[in-house]
Structure 1
Amino acid sequence: MILVGLILAGAAVCVAVGIIAENTAPATLSVFGQHVPGVTSQAQVFVAGVIVTIFFVIGLTIASLALGRSMRVRRELRELREEHEESLTTLEMERQQFQRELARARARGGVPQTTSDIPVAGHRDPVSPFFDQSA
């Protein structure tokens, strides 16, 4: 969109330069050597200038809006990256803390629970009378 706005503004400038450079008579309008039909008074030449100016302003507005949006998106992406890095750092610190706690628990002689000691839903313990179906 920035490019479209700049192209539109540039085209308006080119047309304005062409009008200024080619017009020698006060009530005719020619652009790059071509006479513009229907323009026979100074008021019509003025209106043509206003139209070119409007296109120039529209082009600059499109370019500035697109540039602002682009900058806003880049800022948001940068903030999201920083937030992501911060959360990764926090998770890494928590992981290291848990590893230290586990190492301390093992060093004190405490027997940590292994995955085979954790009960699993739907798994029947054959020595438990509660799940013994033979009774």
Structure 2
Amino acid sequence: MIFLGLVVAVAAVAAGAAVVLENRESVELVAFGETVPGVTEEWHVFMAGAVVAITFMAGLAVAILGVRRSLGIRRELRDLRDEHEESLQTLEMEKRQLELELAQVRRNTPPPLPSSTS
């Protein structure tokens, strides 16, 4: 998979270099009804497109990282909630067990004699 990614990246760089080196004609780039200053040749237009593509990919990467982080946090919170619930259930079982033991001890010991302090 890494090799395939490197092959695709090298092919993209080669295609980009070919476009830049082969196009030397004059051109005018208009965006949102305004002429873009500094763009006078076809390879400038290509480079502008490359910058837009890189910006798009960076934005997409940030969004994906944010989603991945959000999912990780949700998973961790769910695990903590489950662990907390298990802990509560364990404590409730221990409480019931101790209550039963206390009741049994109280049944087996005779009631205290009233003390006369006169």
The answer to whether the superposition gives a TM-score over 0.5 is yes
Aligned twin of 2:106: 106
Give the letter aligned to residue 100 of structure 1. L
CA pair 41-95 structure 1, distance change in 2 beyond 3 A: same
CA pair 108-31 structure 1, distance change in 2 beyond 3 A: same
CA pair 110-86 structure 1, distance change in 2 beyond 3 A: farther
Give the letter aligned to residue 91 of structure 1. L
- C-alpha offsets along residues 44-95 of structure 1, whole Å, 9 cap, x if unaligned? 0000000000100000000000110011001001100110110010001001
Aligned twin of 1:56: 56
Comparing both structures, which one devotes a greater share of its residues to helix?
2
> Structure 1 regions of 5+ residues with no counterpart?
1-25, 112-135
Secondary structure in structure 1 of the residue aligned to 2:27? coil
Shift of 1:110: 5.7
Aligned twin of 2:77: 77
Matches within 5 A, 1:1-135: 27-109=27-109
Aligned twin of 2:114: none
Shift of 1:106: 1.2
Give the letter aligned to residue 78 of structure 1. R
Give the letter aligned to residue 34 of structure 2. Q
Counting aligned pairs with the same residue, the percent is 51
Q: Distance in 2 between matches of 1:94 and 1:48?
A: 69
How many residue pairs get aligned? The number is: 87
Q: Distance in 1 between matches of 2:93 and 2:36?
A: 74
Moved over 4 A (4+): none
